A and B are shown apart, each in its own frame.
Chain A
Amino acid sequence: NAGVTQTPKFRVLKTGQSMTLLCAQDMNHEYMYWYRQDPGMGLRLIHYSVGEGTTAKGEVPDGYNVSRLKKQNFLLGLESAAPSQTSVYFCASSYVGQVPYEQYFGPGTRLTVT
């Protein structure tokens, strides 16, 4: 199992450019999440998905869009990148059930917006 993978690992964008970050998981998890982490901070939830075709806003959703067309993939889009979106982005996935299941995280994508 590859677990949770993220593409790309690094990216530099100019202000106003757009890009899509791809997250893929091979564990058949229902739930998927996108977080961002700024220097010296904990992770903040951007958007999440409870199943194929459904998405919802997290704590800091502004400036981002997401799509979950396939169960194993969760895409994060930046339509018009801003310097404030310079961050490390982590994707995670988890099972769902009565007992809370742990989240499995990807290795992260380092994004710099100049």
Chain B
Amino acid sequence: DAKTTQPPSMDCAEGRAANLPCNHSTISGNEYVYWYRQIHSQGPQYIIHGLKNNETNEMASLIITEDRKSSTLILPHATLRDTAVYYCIYNSGGSNYKLTFGKGTLLTVNP
């Protein structure tokens, strides 16, 4: 199974950047890192994914270390609506499409 390690919980002040770490030391060279989030028991929502290079979209930025053994999801200006459980996952895509969800990190954004 593709296992990742994330802190169980983090806090962030509203308006500040939230930096969520993930360790994926067993990742292979062709495996992508994905981030999803789940807001209060809703269905998970895709945020971003990357392979080697840093990525940015309208929701977040993804920083992947050069050895690819860890990554950080950055929410640049966290809002109360970003309070959620954030999941870091990796897989190779293509015919390997099954995502393995761990327990994730509960990010609480405080006013």
Contact = CB atoms under 8 A, between A and B. Distances in A.
Interface of A: 4, 31, 33, 35, 40-45, 48, 50, 58-59, 88, 90, 92, 94, 96-108
Interface centre among A96, A101, A105 (most CB of B within 10 A): A105
B103 A40 contact: yes
Nearest to B32: A100
Contacts, number: 60
Interface in B70-111: 87, 91-94, 97-104
A100 B94 contact: yes
A42 B91 contact: no
A59 to B, nearest CB: 8
B43 A90 contact: yes
Contact of A103 (B94, B99, B102, B103): B99
Nearest to B89: A42
A88 B41 contact: yes
Nearest to B46: A102
B45 A105 contact: yes
